[in-house]
Amino acid sequence: MRGFFGRALAAFAGQAGQAAASVLLLVAIARAMPPAERGEFVLLTLLPQLGVYLVTLGLPAAALYYAARRPERRRAVVGLSLAGAVAAGVILTAIAPAIFELTDVDRPSLWVLLAGNTTVSWVIFLSWVAYGMSRYYVGGGLRTVPVMFAAAAVAGAQATGSVTTHEAYVWWIVPHVVLAAVSLGYVLRRYGIEWPTRPELREWGWYSVRGSATQVTNLVALRFDQWLLGALGTTAGVGVYSIAAALSETVLLVGRAVGVVVLVDTASDRDRRAIRKQIGVSVGIACVAAGVLAAIVAPLVNGAVGSSYEDAATLTQILLLGTPGMIVARLVSNALAGAGRPGRGSLYNMVAVVVTVSFDFLLIPSHGANGAAWASVIGYTSAGLVALPEIIRSPARDSVSADAPPSDSAENPTRSSERAS
């Protein structure tokens, strides 16, 4: 148990840096532009951060799983990650005009979007691979460094004059482009790159498809409602709501960090008998943190971003009510995914997708950002309640072949027997 929480602390430290950088960028953007323009910036940056999981059907999670499960094939995992990032960048750029038309966002040039979508997708893939290799500080650092540079650049530009939405977006893209180039060069020299075999493509793709609903659910709960708010409400509402979402997500770092370790540990066949205790302790810590944040959020928002965003305090308090459900759902889903059963976790979390989106369409038109917040709380809680029975069951890893396509083991019995051993 001590070793588990040591790894969880390392994962938390890596992701805490990303959260801190995001908060700094949040403050810099909020001080540089009014809510409506900030809302446009949020929707621009959400495209690759949300879309990479959607258009690849959760492939980054498969990269994490097989980087942990098959260390001898990490070169192939890197190759698939690079191909997935490029494909995601091209697809997202192609569909961007239609998406931004729905939300009244003034999009930048397609070349700028292509650079941003592709490089951010690669950084996301690579961070998941790093987590799969138990390099939690590296995984967190890959997401932290470019956001930190973007925050500093926007703050510096704002200090010398006004900042437009497109200028802020470019400042966000540039460090991702630099990091993508540097990291790709390093990976090629250190590990090399290899294309997966045909059986691996089927196996990894099958895992990705089965686990994609889990990723989609998490993204719907944490991000997609901002898109719906932009389409059904206003970009100003997105600008305020995104601050509340960012603040509430700092509490969810507990579940996110522990969840990554749970997935890696189960994929690596480490002892998983303490899962109930790990989930209970994690939920308790997250709830205490949520209570503290709820008590101080009003003066925190006013002091950090000003009175024009004061409604974000109430929205944050609403979102924090869903903390227990989200933590339980995340940890149970990750335990199942690490045990080679992502399909089961996906089925549980699909309930949250339906509930959240349904209430978004029901509440946003009449209640705006408040409606989006309550819809998320209902979705979080639904996911937790549906996943809760899994805590009672044994989390021991089932045979991967139970969810794997039959043709994989039939075509390559030697590799299948190696995995079973």
**Residues 207-222: tens digit of each pLDDT:** 787 766 666 656 655 6
> Residue 414 pLDDT > 50, yes or no?
no
Place of tokens 């409400």: 233
**Residues 90-120: tens digit of each pLDDT:** 999 999 988 888 877 888 888 999 999 999 9
Kindly give, in sequence order, each residue whose CB lies less than 8 Å from that of residue 337, ignoring residues fewer than 6 positions away: 61, 65, 211, 214, 263, 266, 345
Residue 408's pLDDT band (boundaries 50, 70, 90)? very low
If one compares 215 and 413, the residue with the highest pLDDT of the two is: 215
Q: What is the pLDDT of residue 12?
A: 58
Q: What is the pLDDT of residue 392?
A: 63
Q: DSSP state, 398? A: P
Among residues 348, 316, 357, the alpha carbon closest in space to that of 330 is found at 348
Distance between CA 120 and CA 350 in Å, rounded? 26
The average pLDDT across 284-309 equals: 86
Residue 415's pLDDT band (boundaries 50, 70, 90)? very low
Distance between CA 43 and CA 172 in Å, rounded? 13
Contact 64, 128 (CB under 8 A): yes
CA distances 240 to 335, 373, 374, Å, are 34, 11, 15
Hey, is 319 helix, strand or coil? helix
Tell me which of 37-41, 64-68, 70-74, 342-346 is least confident.
342-346
Q: What is the pLDDT of residue 274?
A: 58
Distance between CA 21 and CA 32 in Å, rounded? 16
> Residue 206 pLDDT > 70, yes or no?
yes
If one compares 345 and 208, the residue with the highest pLDDT of the two is: 208
Q: What is the pLDDT of residue 180?
A: 95
Positive/negative CA dihedral, 15, 20, 25, 26? positive
Q: What is the pLDDT of residue 4?
A: 54
Residue 263's pLDDT band (boundaries 50, 70, 90)? low
Chain mean pLDDT for the chain: 79
% of the chain at pLDDT higher than 70: 76
Rounded (5°) CA angle 242-245-247? 110
Contact 67, 77 (CB under 8 A): yes
Distance between CA 182 and CA 202 in Å, rounded? 30
Boundaries of every domain in the chain? 2-399
If one compares 335 and 130, the residue with the highest pLDDT of the two is: 130
Residue 420's pLDDT band (boundaries 50, 70, 90)? very low
Q: DSSP state, 403? A: T
Q: DSSP state, 196? A: P
HEC string of 21-77 equals HHHHHHHHHHHHCCHHHHHHHHHHHHHHHHHHHHHCCCHHHHHHHHHHHCHHHHHHH
